[in-house]
Amino acid sequence: MYWCAASATSGNGMTVRWKSLMNHLCDKHEDCYHANDLGNRRKKWFIPGTKAWEKLSDIIGNPRLIYDIKKLSPSQQTSSVESYHSVINHFAPKLMAFCYHGMHCRLLIAAMHFNENYKRPQAFTRDGKERRRLTFPKSKQGECTPKVVPVPKTYNYANELMVKAIQLCLTNAEEDKGSHRKPPQLPKAPPHLASQYMHPDKDTIPEFSRYND
């Protein structure tokens, strides 16, 4: 499904590629869009007319599924969002609880870190060769896959934050000389989501009173 969206530029092209999957699963590759390079791997193919083939055909040819495939995005994918969520988990681990302002600050730092290091360029060795490392995905059952090694991460945003924090402290110190101004207060945190709903008395809930009896 991902390949259908990434290799086609229109909804009709996506559905044509998706429907060609049935021929591919039956070892018919004349009208398939993939590269016809199956190697010497021994595969089990579906046999047209069998019960398994009919069930799979009903799933792949489901009109509602095909209608949704037409609306797939050929360029905008969710992989970058998932990468950003992993950065958030690094700065704000789920096993720890943070106040509203603490969580807000950590989200901002995670966004700055992600924006600065997203799509880092390829790293090279001293000899000018591209750096790569081997990974062993579970789906390949022991077969290795080369993966690009990017350049190391940078943390320039941290230096900029420190400089701006020092400048702000110096500015406030100059303005506060000879004055009795109160220090700036943090904005008030929004109320909890649970506070938006009514909380009835526990004794008025039949299920709760039944367990107490």
Residues of the chain with pLDDT under 70: 31-42, 75-77, 176-184, 207-213
How high is the pLDDT of residue 31?
65
> Within a domain: residue 193?
no
- Spell out the residues 6+ positions from residue 191 whose beta carbon is closer than 8 angstroms to its own: none
Can you give the residue range of the structural domain that contains 55?
2-69
> Within a domain: residue 202?
no
How high is the pLDDT of residue 210?
59
> Within a domain: residue 15?
yes
Q: Which residue has the tokens 């600050």?
A: 105
> Within a domain: residue 152?
no
Would you say 131 and 147 are in contact if contact means Cβ atoms under 8 Å apart? no
pLDDT in tens, 162-204: 999 999 888 877 776 666 666 667 788 888 888 888 877 777 7
Compute the Cα dihedral for 143, 145, 146, 151 and give only its sign.
negative
Q: What angle do CA 53, 55, 58 make, to 5 degrees?
A: 105
> Within a domain: residue 118?
no
Write the DSSP assignment of 42-75 as a string of letters. Answer: ------TTSHHHHHHHHHHT-HHHHHHHTT--SS
How high is the pLDDT of residue 42?
65
> Within a domain: residue 127?
no
pTM: predicted TM-score of the whole model, two decimal places:
0.60
Domains held by the chain: number = 1
How high is the pLDDT of residue 134?
87
> Within a domain: residue 114?
no
How high is the pLDDT of residue 35?
52
> Within a domain: residue 75?
no
Instruction: Give CA 50 to chain center in angstroms.
Output: 39
